[in-house]
Amino acid sequence: MSSEENLRIGVYPGSFDPITRGHLDIIERSSRIFDRLVVGVLINSAKKPLFSADERVKMIQSVTRHLPNVEVRFFDGLTVDFAQSEHAHVIVRGLRAVTDFEYELQMAQMNYTMRPGIDTIFLTTDLRYAYLSSSIVREVAQYGGDISRFVPEEIVPLVKQKIRDSDGGGQTQEVR
Ligand code: COA
């Protein structure tokens, strides 16, 4: 029996394009629930990302430096397969509002049907971040708005630079 089997391991999947203060809040709280939390950055999103998967992984690593039991990796394919490969028994999702619920319920039920050994738990998002999403952050940045309340401090200049580099908000062509 591997020692991993005795650990409480969770995965927190998402696009994180870019990571917001809302995501970080979920990561910090989840890191207290699990022995090991693996943040999974989805590569093959239907969305065309602003940041490459490598960039998104590095950004999350830099803002979770203070959390020793948090690891960050990108993944492709199904979240349940990623969870299985990480020996995780739990998928963590954040619920911002009731509008998230229907989609999240469907995804959790589908995931449970595919892998009954892996449960989904939901953390309610901190009210301060209930309205946040990565695309809203990208949009505000694109029009020169202040995003410092929405993303961790060190992410602010990276988003601004990326928007400048991509000539007003174009998308990266990289997949990772
Ligand atoms: N704080 C701030 N923003 C949040 C948030 C929080 N706590 N939780 C979610 N969001 C934002 C996200 O940034 C995202 O914003 P965007 O649409 O502007 O990019 C939006 O809410 C939607 O988030 P989410 O539903 O988590 O989408 P996602 O793309 O980040 O992640 C996956 C979705 C990766 C979990 C899902 O697509 C997946 O599992 N894909 C793999 C394939 C698979 O297994 N599919 C399921 C089969 S049923």
Please check whether residue 15 is in contact with residue 42, taking contact to mean a CB–CB distance below 8 angstroms.
yes
pTM, to two decimals: 0.91
pLDDT score, position 173: 45
The rounded Å distance from CA 113 to ligand 1 centre is 19
Which residues surround ligand 1 with Cβ inside 6 Å?
Answer: 13-15, 17, 20, 22-23, 26, 42, 45, 78-79, 94, 96, 107, 110-111, 125, 129, 132-135
Query: What are the residue boundaries of the structural domains of the chain, listed by start?
Result: 3-131
Q: How far apart are the first and last CA of the chain?
A: 34
Give the helix ranges, DSSP H, for 41-124: 53-63, 79-85, 98-114
3-state secondary structure of 118: coil
3-class DSSP state of 74: strand
Choices 3.80.10.10, 3.40.50.620, 3.90.1170.40, 3.30.750.24: CATH for 3-131: 3.40.50.620
Per-residue tens of pLDDT for the chain, all 176 residues: 456 668 999 999 999 999 999 999 999 999 999 999 999 999 976 778 999 999 999 999 999 999 999 999 999 999 999 999 999 999 999 999 888 899 999 999 999 999 999 999 999 999 999 999 999 999 999 999 999 999 999 999 999 999 999 864 445 544 45
